[in-house]
Structure 1
Amino acid sequence: MMEQSLTVLVSRLLAHRVIPRSDALARRALLDDAFRAELDQRLAAVGLRLVENPYAEHIAVALLPAMTEPVFGSGEAWLNNNLGLPRDGVALLVIVWALIILPKRERQISRVEAGREGQHDMFGAQKPLETGDTVSVGISEDALYADFGKQLGGRTRFAANLGRLVNLGFLNRRNKWLEEGPMLDLMIDYAALAPRIIEGALADVLGRRQALLQEAAASAPAAATDNSQVENA
């Protein structure tokens, strides 16, 4: 029975690339130690590993670190991805990850820490972490282009790369509003990249953008109050 379940799960991971954590076999892989050990062994035999984190709503597979050079090459032959993304497409991916996943993770971590402070349930640590629409927010496509479009090749290149990211499952796109896709929180190593972004070249740009958003949010209630005073008068 385990043999058949493992075969089905590995086949689905390879065919669909991502599987929701709520799926029965995905949950078994995350909760059943014996099943997970056998799954890891099977994936490792072909140079792969399971990719999951408690903040993401999906699981996927990726290359083992030892397989990076044999698959992607080195030196002048090195490939920075196996998805057909050009360099400006990879840059756009990093930017949307920083704008969507970094704030989402901050909210998730703060809510977990707040819950632990007031947690008196002895089994509280085993409860699932909060994910989904309550913590993940989107970004405006027009605002994204206004901030970074020219640096990423102009309107045509920006639109083409954005379409690639949507097709690859990194983003969901509705009426020029971009939201997290199933791949976005899995295929970039948060622990490795977050400090580089927060403390690096994008820090000032993203900081200024966040300040503008906060100013706009702060002015909205004031405007509503002024309007209500006019109506009451």
Structure 2
Amino acid sequence: MDKAEFDSFADEYLSLHARNISASGEGPAYFAEYKIRDIAEEMTLRNQMPERMLDFGAGVGTSVPWVREYLPDAQLTCVDVSERSLEVAKDRFADMARFVHFDGRTLPFEQGDFDLAYAMCVFHHIDHAEHVDLLRELRRVLGPRGTLVIFEHNPYNPLTVRAVNTCEFDVNAKLITAPKMRQACRDAGFTQVRLRYRIFFPHALAALRPLEKYMTHVPLGAQYAVYATCA
């Protein structure tokens, strides 16, 4: 999906997303929250709480309030190719983050400007041939011990594939397997690249979700996360 397509969906993104994932029994906020909560828990375990965070492909800012809740001391910068999406995000969360447009190739930041960068289901909208170059660009703006976290849809999960195939703003999306995303991070120069699968149970089976922490190696979760470091 290019800039024009993102711009055209910006004003109705939240309602379209909510309708598309309704089969899970959850809304967009659930999926945004779990990702930021995961990041906060992981960085707490590492004793490396980030002070400067980058939301790569921030869209309409769905993750912003959750950063403020789980990582209240971090300075958050949101970047996106869609200027209209950033306008919507700024209208919603003007005092919670900085919103910056970028051209899709070069991030307008200096080397080492951030401790942590994350991308929430962004890379399946980007031509796979461009992944390594963009990952190198993310590596550039992270500090020497910076962490990159990529969440993506798992193409081995049939419900996820169905949701993507029926979603208006995923019409040009191409899902990426977790091993391929892990390898792309390594090719971009990241080290200690770790993979975990997430989201195994819909809302109707929410009582079973505490078991998910024991299932992160099972390649059937609806989504997956790749954690990569620069050191």
Please give the range of the TM-score, normalised by the shorter of the 2 chains.
Answer: under 0.3
The structure whose residues are more often helix, as a share, is 1
Higher normalized contact order (CA 8 Å, seq sep 6+, divided by chain length): 2
Provide the TM-score with structure 2 as the length reference: 0.28
Is the radius of gyration larger for structure 1 or structure 2? Answer: 1
